[in-house]
Structure 1
Amino acid sequence: MVVNPSADDITPTDEERIDPPTTLAGWRHFVDRDSATFQLASARSWEVMGDQVRNSYNERRIDYHSELQVVRTSTVNEVAHQGRLLTLLTAGNTAPGGA
């Protein structure tokens, strides 16, 4: 199933919009910001997480990895949106035999 979100779903607000690093303002923003960090959960912590905590953890992890993108184009935003949608839609599905 392919879903075409409306432009409002993937268009960043003016506050979220960042100039690309190919511009002087964008480059300054890119080099001046603090490096993103993320602490991976231990195997034991992961096992004892409830569904809500695990979902929150996964959202923070996804946000961390999306910060690594230098190029944010409408295509990249669309792919990220579709990926998140597919992840949410298939989150409860497992293959027969528990694999």
Structure 2
Amino acid sequence: MNNMKSNLSYKKTKVLDYDNTEYFLYHMPLMSCIQNILEISDISQTFALEYEELYKTTKNGKKNIYKEQNNGIWWKTTQSTLPTGAKILSIILYSDATNCDSLGKS
């Protein structure tokens, strides 16, 4: 986060009028967030961009291990359908929230 551009702008969207009060959602467009993350120069070194098959050796032979997203069958199948040079980039989104009670305290 410290390496991201500081000009990330939030948008304000009115979502509700209730009891003479306007309620707004403050948000950042998803594509802006992704673009800012990808502009960090050394971040791509930490990406898992290829399917990686993991095995565990047992008495009965080898057994697949599904540990990370890029170890899953979905990743392997999807990667095989991509054009040459294209990669899958998995992004996990997180949202923080503030809860307000009926008295307006947060």
When normalised by structure 1's length, the TM-score is: 0.25
When normalised by structure 2's length, the TM-score is: 0.24
Which one scores higher on RCO, CA 8 angstroms, separation ≥ 6? 1
Bigger CA radius of gyration: 2
Q: Which has the higher strand share?
A: 2
Q: Which has the higher helix share?
A: 1
